[in-house]
Structure 1
């Protein structure tokens, strides 16, 4: 499709901003499985009890493009699936979310919000039967990590967004998020949050010794048996690739195998104690784990609770990725979902979300609003990356289906999954 065809019908200022992003944007960030240890998986049969209606069969089995009538104009609802602990929460009522209430007040659209995305692969298995059969999943919006978002887009199981309904998103999207290789031009997705993978340590557990590199995690005898890496393949292998002087954007199969071999050596020597999801936090805080790979958003709260926790951006660089909002194929309330996407790309609303969850916003221009809400967070490079950090950021390249199968299998064997 030609660029002028994609932007046809948009307001002139929005059209120009979006076309500039297509010609000047660089590859966006790539990765994450927010492996929440909350046990909140929801089966398809119980979705209605959690606010999301059961899947509805459609008249066509073509899952590459929606031929389903959009009910948005008559049914003022949107069914939203997200990860646990990934939105603002009322202090007195954990089921209340101020940003969703603001959206309802502004649009009249009620949000049925469900925290049923606990793992990308698990969630894929949950929605695959309906999507493969050309059926509505009962969801209108879902948040998935970039590599899984790309997989669903390749399969034709995501609705192409109507650009006229996401003009805030087009205009305010940060330049570094505009052109991911798995969704060029952001035709199907917009970021919910960006995630940074860095090195963290407990300075009390290390007796004041700084841990500044992945090589130190793998080799330092003072850390033996007290190191953890992440159970998300792209983060762990990507960071090891960087420590070996390889590019996560351009690595070969031989490079990947060398990184796995280096990790296996550290496992065999018992340098690495375990591979974890985000449940590393408690052990890092207690000192049972002295140093680890960690996600930036988690470190905001961990450091607030424990001043002994430090983080470092290695000289070799660090990995970054995005969790993304997508409309699944056959969604019954596509326009309502697009309005919700667009709502979160207003700087004030984006700042409210960022202040609540501590992850990088995909919305540009939020610093002034964030300063009003959380001045310390507005100065934190884990939330608003500095130019120095931006110079060190790397992304894990998209994999072919064959590579994904082979690489995940090798990593699973490494971590004992």
Structure 2
């Protein structure tokens, strides 16, 4: 078995990693590539291709399939994650939380940063899972819509609550029961991803912004507004502004949201739809205000006094990246122990201090304050109960809905 051996980065490399977060590179890897190119290629290609490859369509779950769990005799676990999604300490040591886990448990972690895009990663693991074979991975981290698909297909294993006492006790209420995994039987969140309104105070020049309606309708912002190329974020925030719940909407609601956005496009109100590159437009002032991902805003605020954010009274959208154990994984118990470890406040705080996304673990504030007091008081990292109450999730889509909705959104954005 391959052994996890922590290594160190040079000071210059640490600085480069920090810059990558400030410039949004890490968020670009995880967020802007969630949506396939050519508007709806994901829905029409990846989803449509399931049955064509002899793979059951989503919704025909066969139930998770376990293998003989060799955790007791093989003290190892193989963990696939996104790039730059694990802690690095100030001295440049890579992944000190993983090293601490190994010291405590004797379980060596084979940690691989081999997820660059959800759709691409699904293509990697699909042949083995469809054939009922081991993927060589004990733990994977994918975004909520793909996690839901894997669960529906029956390609991930049900987790054993006995091995997850900290996860069960400390999981934040806003992440407890997504519609694609009610009660978190198959998954636990790694990090949350919030969509908010960001603005440049200097570019606004006194213009008040409090809602998505202001972005869409205020003539003083014409040509200086940005929305996201991620359909769920842009449409979800628009639905909320219209008084609709993104977790319960129907076709008519979706079409009304698209029509509202189309009017803003036709009037030239929306400058453009962007991926993570909105960060440059916002800091330069080309965008006076835009939809943005909270992980970026934390770093942008640290670098630019003009950048700030707001949570509309109508609410905001939250999605998540999630930990799951694939079928036939050889070290399920070890994987569950690793999941549970990251729901201990100390480990969760060390991770949150580096990543700056929404921490899904309750009770970490005191531990995080020991590392970074500003981060501990930042509602974009640790939302308080009032902010959590405004959080909404975009509901799961059927294959038919995803194909239709992505096509309409692609027409809107000109993708």
TM-score range, shorter chain: 0.7 to 0.9
Task: Tell whether the 8 Å contact from 1:63 to 1:329 is kept in structure 2 after alignment.
Answer: no
Secondary structure of residue in 2 paired with 1:185: helix
The answer for unaligned runs of 5 or more in structure 1 is 1-32, 42-60
For the residue of structure 2 that corresponds to 1:273, the secondary structure is strand
**1:90 pairs with 2:89:** yes
Asked whether the equivalents of residues 247 and 393 of structure 2 are also in contact (C-alpha less than 8 Å), the reply is yes
In structure 1, what is the equivalent of residue 126 of structure 2?
128
Partner of 1:79: 78
1:128-154 CA-partner distances (Å, limit 9, x unpaired): 222222222222211122222111101
- The CA distance in 2 between the partners of 1:248 and 1:133, in whole Å, is 35
Any conservation in 2 of the 1:145–1:322 contact (CA below 8 Å)?
Answer: yes
State the Cα distance separating 1:189 from its structure 2 match.
0.5
Cα distance, 1:63 vs structure 2: 7.0
Aligned residue in 1 for 2:412: 414
Q: Hey, what does 1:340 align to over in structure 2?
A: 338
Look up the match of 2:275. Answer: 277
Structure 2 counterpart of 1:393, from 391, 394, 397: 391
Residue 38 (structure 1) shift = 11
CA distance in structure 1 between the partners assigned to 2:278 and 2:375 by the alignment: 22
Distance across 2 between alignment mates of 1:202 and 1:65: 48
Deviation at 1:339, TM superposition (A): 1.1
Is the CA contact 2:66–2:329 (under 8 Å) kept in the aligned structure 1? no
> Once the 2 structures are TM-superposed, how far is the Cα of residue 216 of structure 1 from its aligned partner?
1.7
Match of 2:352 among 354, 359, 381: 354
Q: For the residues of structure 1 that align with 2:140 and 2:299, how far apart are their CA atoms? A: 25
Give the counterpart of 2:223 among 222, 225, 229.
225
How many Å apart are 1:297 and its aligned residue? 1.8
Displacement of 1:78: 1.9
Residue 363 of structure 2 corresponds to residue 368 of structure 1: no
CA contact (8 A) 2:141 2:321 kept: yes
2: CA distance, partners of 1:351 / 1:100: 13
Aligned pair 1:190/2:188, yes or no?
Answer: yes
Q: How does 1:298-317 map to 2 (within 5 A)?
A: 298-317=296-315
CA distance in 2, matches of 1:402, 1:240: 22
Q: Deviations over 1:5-57 (max 9, x none)?
A: xxxxxxxxxxxxxxxxxxxxxxxxxxxx954289999xxxxxxxxxxxxxxxx
Match of 1:238 among 216, 236, 239: 236
Give the corresponding residue for 2:161.
Answer: 163
Q: TM-score under structure 2 normalisation?
A: 0.81
2:265 paired residue number: 267
SS of residue matched to 2:88: coil
Give 1 or 2: higher helix fraction.
2
Structure 1 residues 397 and 65: CA distance shift in structure 2, 3 A: closer
Contiguous gaps of at least 5 residues in structure 2? 1-25, 35-55
Question: Would the aligned equivalents of 2:167 and 2:343 in 1 still touch at CA under 8 Å?
Answer: yes
How many residues align? The count is: 365
CA contact (8 A) 2:233 2:317 kept: yes
Residue 66 of structure 1 is matched in structure 2 by 65
Structure 1 residue ranges (4+ consecutive) displaced by more than 6 angstroms after TM superposition: 37-41
Partners of 1:197 and 1:190 in 2: CA distance: 20
Counterpart Cα distance in 1 of 2:32 and 2:252: 37
Q: Is the Cα contact below 8 Å between 1:63 and 1:134 reproduced in 2?
A: no
Q: How many Å separate the matches in 2 of 1:277 and 1:122?
A: 18
Of 390-399 and 367-376, more deviation after overlay is shown by 390-399
Give secondary structure in 2 for the equivalent of 1:314: coil
Deviations 1:291-347 (A, max 9, x none): 111111221111001111010111221112222111112222222211110110111
Match of 2:320 among 319, 322, 342: 322
SS in 1 for 2:210: coil
